[in-house]
């Protein structure tokens, strides 16, 4: 799982990578369709992020790191805190739920599947993280790429 985190951190948080996927897909379309395709991708990405951040503000939650570190002070005698526990990578200082990266990636991947009329499109993504090993991953579908981001985020942040 740690390899997924290292590989996908730039993918999950780099909008550039998502728009690279959009660009790669758009070169397979007719020239007149490129503008509409790019607009649709950006609109869907913005919609996903707006809804995610609205939810984060409307339903604030704490991150698991807080619960784990301060478990001794939550009023429940059944929980035990671990002040020394740390996540694999730095935890962002905003609410955990819901995931902006998952909303963004899954929204764009769904849009690509709908646009091409199939989820079964094989493509390769190369990580910009120098520690990624391997530094490229090939996906058999848009869903596979979205699920990889889910796995990376669920195993790396807390």
| DSSP codes, 105-150 | HHHHHHHHHHHHT-S---EEEE---TT-SSSEEEESSHHHHHHHHH
Rounded-to-integer distance, Cα 135 and Cα 152, Å: 15
Rounded-to-integer distance, Cα 92 and Cα 96, Å: 8
Beta-bridge mates of residue 124? 138
Q: What is the pLDDT of residue 146?
A: 87
Q: Is residue 84 part of a domain?
A: no
Rounded-to-integer distance, Cα 143 and Cα 106, Å: 8
Question: Quick check: 72 and 82 in contact, CB under 8 A?
Answer: no
> Domain limits at 151?
2-61+95-156
Q: Is residue 79 part of a domain?
A: no
User: What is the residue-level pLDDT of the chain in tens, covering all 158 positions?
Assistant: 344 444 444 444 444 455 555 555 555 555 556 667 777 777 888 888 888 888 888 877 777 888 889 889 888 888 899 999 988 777 777 776 777 878 888 888 888 888 889 999 988 888 777 877 777 888 999 999 888 887 776 655 44
The torsion angles phi and psi of 123, rounded to 5 degrees, stand at -150, 160
Q: Is residue 28 part of a domain?
A: yes
Question: For the chain, how many structural domains are there in total?
Answer: 1
Name the residue with tokens 């391997």: 134
Q: What is the pLDDT of residue 154?
A: 62
pTM, to two decimals: 0.63
């Amino acid at each position: 799982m740690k390899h997924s985190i290292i590989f996908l951190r730039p993918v999950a948080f780099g909008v550039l990578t998502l728009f690279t996927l959009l660009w790669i897909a758009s070169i397979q379309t007719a020239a007149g369709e490129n503008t509409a395709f790019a607009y649709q991708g950006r609109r869907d990405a913005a919609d996903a992020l707006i809804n995610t951040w609205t939810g984060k503000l409307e339903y604030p939650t704490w991150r698991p790191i807080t619960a784990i570190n301060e478990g001794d002070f939550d009023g429940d005698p059944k929980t035990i805190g671990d002040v020394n526990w740390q996540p694999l990578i730095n935890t962002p200082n905003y609410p955990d739920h819901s995931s902006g990266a998952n909303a963004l990636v899954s929204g764009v991947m769904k849009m690509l599947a709908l646009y091409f009329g199939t989820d079964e499109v094989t493509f390769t993504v190369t990580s910009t993280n120098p520690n990624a090993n391997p530094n490229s991953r090939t996906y058999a579908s848009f869903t596979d790429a979205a699920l990889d981001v889910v796995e990376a985020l669920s195993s790396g942040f807390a």
